[in-house]
Amino acid sequence: GDSVTQMEGPVTLSEEAFLTINCTYTATGYPSLFWYVQYPGEGLQLLLKATKADDKGSNKGFEATYRKETTSFHLEKGSVQVSDSAVYFCALSGLSSGGGADGLTFGKGTHLIIQP
Protein backbone atom coordinates (compact mmCIF):
# COMPACT_ATOMS: atom_id res chain seq x y z
CA GLY A 1 0.00 0.00 0.00
CA ASP A 2 0.88 3.67 -0.03
CA SER A 3 3.28 5.07 2.53
CA VAL A 4 4.98 8.33 3.50
CA THR A 5 8.31 8.61 5.28
CA GLN A 6 9.54 11.77 6.97
CA MET A 7 12.03 12.63 9.71
CA GLU A 8 10.29 12.70 13.09
CA GLY A 9 12.56 15.01 15.01
CA PRO A 10 12.35 17.01 17.06
CA VAL A 11 14.18 19.35 14.75
CA THR A 12 15.55 22.36 16.60
CA LEU A 13 16.71 25.45 14.71
CA SER A 14 17.56 29.02 15.51
CA GLU A 15 15.40 31.85 14.22
CA GLU A 16 16.25 32.88 10.62
CA ALA A 17 17.86 29.51 9.87
CA PHE A 18 17.14 27.58 6.66
CA LEU A 19 14.68 24.72 7.03
CA THR A 20 14.43 21.45 5.15
CA ILE A 21 12.11 18.63 6.19
CA ASN A 22 12.52 15.58 4.01
CA CYS A 23 9.55 13.58 2.77
CA THR A 24 9.58 10.55 0.50
CA TYR A 25 6.66 8.44 -0.58
CA THR A 26 5.64 5.13 -2.06
CA ALA A 27 2.45 5.03 -4.10
CA THR A 28 0.90 3.51 -7.15
CA GLY A 29 -0.08 5.81 -9.94
CA TYR A 30 0.14 9.57 -9.59
CA PRO A 31 -0.78 10.74 -6.10
CA SER A 32 -1.36 14.30 -4.98
CA LEU A 33 1.03 15.49 -2.28
CA PHE A 34 0.37 17.75 0.69
CA TRP A 35 2.05 19.38 3.65
CA TYR A 36 -0.12 20.02 6.70
CA VAL A 37 0.85 21.87 9.89
CA GLN A 38 -0.52 21.26 13.38
CA TYR A 39 -0.09 23.82 16.14
CA PRO A 40 -0.42 22.67 19.77
CA GLY A 41 -3.97 21.71 20.67
CA GLU A 42 -5.29 22.40 17.19
CA GLY A 43 -6.36 20.47 14.12
CA LEU A 44 -4.46 20.24 10.85
CA GLN A 45 -4.05 23.21 8.55
CA LEU A 46 -3.17 22.79 4.91
CA LEU A 47 0.17 24.44 4.24
CA LEU A 48 0.66 23.64 0.56
CA LYS A 49 -0.03 21.02 -2.07
CA ALA A 50 1.05 19.75 -5.50
CA THR A 51 -1.02 17.56 -7.74
CA LYS A 52 1.40 16.54 -10.49
CA ALA A 53 5.10 15.99 -11.12
CA ASP A 54 7.32 19.10 -11.09
CA ASP A 55 4.57 21.22 -9.52
CA LYS A 56 5.79 23.55 -6.78
CA GLY A 57 3.48 24.33 -3.90
CA SER A 58 4.14 27.45 -1.84
CA ASN A 59 2.57 29.33 1.04
CA LYS A 60 3.77 31.61 3.88
CA GLY A 61 7.38 31.33 2.70
CA PHE A 62 7.30 27.53 2.61
CA GLU A 63 7.90 25.64 -0.64
CA ALA A 64 7.90 22.04 -1.80
CA THR A 65 8.41 20.54 -5.27
CA TYR A 66 6.82 17.28 -6.42
CA ARG A 67 9.75 15.16 -7.63
CA LYS A 68 8.46 11.97 -9.22
CA GLU A 69 11.91 10.70 -10.19
CA THR A 70 13.02 10.68 -6.53
CA THR A 71 9.48 10.19 -5.09
CA SER A 72 10.05 13.15 -2.81
CA PHE A 73 8.26 16.28 -1.63
CA HIS A 74 10.71 18.04 0.68
CA LEU A 75 9.53 21.11 2.59
CA GLU A 76 11.80 24.17 2.65
CA LYS A 77 11.77 27.67 4.08
CA GLY A 78 14.54 30.19 3.76
CA SER A 79 14.24 31.90 7.14
CA VAL A 80 12.19 30.36 9.94
CA GLN A 81 10.49 32.24 12.75
CA VAL A 82 9.57 31.24 16.30
CA SER A 83 5.92 31.19 15.17
CA ASP A 84 6.76 28.33 12.76
CA SER A 85 7.20 25.98 15.72
CA ALA A 86 4.68 23.18 15.14
CA VAL A 87 4.35 19.63 13.88
CA TYR A 88 4.53 19.25 10.09
CA PHE A 89 2.91 16.33 8.28
CA CYS A 90 3.61 15.17 4.77
CA ALA A 91 0.68 13.35 3.17
CA LEU A 92 -0.45 11.83 -0.10
CA SER A 93 -3.79 11.12 -1.65
CA GLY A 94 -4.13 8.54 -4.32
CA LEU A 95 -5.31 5.12 -5.23
CA SER A 96 -5.49 2.63 -2.38
CA SER A 97 -4.46 5.32 0.09
CA GLY A 98 -5.36 4.43 3.70
CA GLY A 99 -7.17 1.33 2.56
CA GLY A 100 -9.56 3.20 0.31
CA ALA A 101 -9.52 5.25 -2.83
CA ASP A 102 -9.14 8.77 -1.60
CA GLY A 103 -8.12 8.90 2.06
CA LEU A 104 -4.93 10.71 2.97
CA THR A 105 -1.88 8.69 3.98
CA PHE A 106 0.25 10.65 6.45
CA GLY A 107 3.83 10.52 7.55
CA LYS A 108 4.54 10.34 11.30
CA GLY A 109 5.02 14.10 11.55
CA THR A 110 8.09 16.24 12.22
CA HIS A 111 8.17 18.30 15.40
CA LEU A 112 9.88 21.61 14.61
CA ILE A 113 11.16 23.84 17.40
CA ILE A 114 12.47 27.32 16.56
CA GLN A 115 14.52 29.04 19.23
CA PRO A 116 14.84 32.85 19.39
Give residues in contact with another protein (CB under 8 A).
31-32, 34, 36, 42-46, 49, 51, 89, 91, 93-95, 97-109
Write down the least CB distance from residue 76 to another protein, Å: 21
Write down the least CB distance from residue 68 to another protein, Å: 15
Closer of 43 and 116 to another protein (Cβ): 43
- Count how many residues are written for the chain: 116
Closer of 19 and 27 to another protein (Cβ): 27
Q: Do 37 and 63 form a contact (C-beta atoms < 8 A)?
A: no
Q: Do 59 and 76 form a contact (C-beta atoms < 8 A)?
A: no
CA-CA distance, 8 to 108, in Å (whole number)? 6
Closer of 10 and 78 to another protein (Cβ): 10
For residue 5, the tally of other CB atoms under 10 A from its CB is 15
Closer of 36 and 73 to another protein (Cβ): 36
Write down the least CB distance from residue 10 to another protein, Å: 14
Is the sign of the CA dihedral 33, 31, 25, 54 positive or negative? negative
What letter does residue 61 receive in the DSSP assignment?
T
Write down the least CB distance from residue 74 to another protein, Å: 19
